[in-house]
Amino acid sequence: MRIQINVPESLHEITLGQYQDYLEAQETIDDDYQLGSRMIEIFCNIPVKDVFQFRMSHITSIQKTLIKIFENKTETLINRFTIHGIEFGFMPSLDEMTFGEYVDIDTYIKDWKQMHKAMAVLYRAIDTKHKDRYSIVAYDGKETDIMKDMPLAVCFSSIVFFYNLGIELSQIMMGYMEMMTPTQRRELEALELNGGGISQFSHSLKVMLEDLKISLD
């Protein structure tokens, strides 16, 4: 029996939901053979029973291709993408982010199981656009599951963007601290030690990127 299989060639051909499923498989499957077959089942959209029909040499080749995809350098921020006929855009102005939006991003972006919820804050349906400029609909925290179908490349690009933004904000904060009174400096340092603030957020993203083997160079 001849089995047709489509192997993704880039992160643009893998969805966030697929990656979330694979991470869950890593947590629950101890056997390397089972995990390898599950990886192909998830990323190539093929039943696991069919995976076992392939030659071992083909399985090895597919696995190497998939692993190589995740070793490629991440692109710069991807502002727009389309899924299910809907065009989504990254928040045009981070200066206009509400406190509620910030809290949700800070809560969800550190947990891959809830990453689609963070992406639903950052990327929303475009309601008006003119050339390169656009506006997006208001954030309501609903219907976040659609983001599971977004390209993983888009998700990774926004994570790297926030990591780099955190570094810039940390550098600005260091300059600001030099002008602080000793009391103000101690209060800020206490906030960092308690797990909050820019440095902790950037560190969490850095660990995440290192786990994914994403290059920051």
Quick one: what percent of the chain has pLDDT higher than 70? 74
Domain count for the chain, please give it.
Answer: 2
Buried b / exposed e over 86-116, threshold 16 CB at 10 Å, is eebbbbeeeeeeeeebeebbeebbbebeebb
In a shared domain, residues 37 and 124: no
How far from 112 is each of 164, 172, 205, CA to CA, in Å?
Answer: 19, 29, 11
Last residue of a domain, one of 69, 90, 112: 69
Residue 165 confidence (pLDDT) above 60: yes
Do residue 104 and residue 161 come from a single domain? yes
156, part of any domain: yes
Q: Which of 69, 93, 113 is the last residue of a domain?
A: 69
Tell whether the model's pLDDT for residue 208 goes beyond 60.
no
- Express each pLDDT in 4-34 by its tens digit: 788 999 999 999 999 999 999 999 999 988 9
Same domain, 205 and 119: yes
Backbone φ, ψ for residue 84 (5° rounding): 55, 35
Same domain for 204 and 103, yes or no, is yes
- Give domain status of residue 2, yes or no: no
Question: Could you tell me if 198 and 173 lie in one domain?
Answer: yes
Instruction: Let me know whether 141 and 49 are in one domain.
Output: no
pTM of the complete model: 0.78
95 and 63 share a domain? no
115 is a domain residue: yes
* pLDDT of 160 above 70: yes
- For residue range 78-119, list pLDDT tens digits in order: 999 999 999 999 999 887 888 888 888 888 888 899 999 999
Domain membership of residue 149 (yes or no) is: yes
Same domain, 94 and 56: no
Kindly state the average pLDDT of the residues 122-141: 93
* Structural domain harbouring 45: 11-69
Residues 92 and 154 in one domain: yes
Asked whether residue 163 falls in the same domain as residue 204, the answer is: yes
Q: Report the C-alpha gap between 148 and 70 in whole angstroms.
A: 18
Q: Are residues 64 and 84 in the same domain?
A: no
* Helices vs strands, H then E, count in the chain: 9, 4
At residue 107's C-alpha, the angle toward residues 23 and 137, to 5°, is: 100
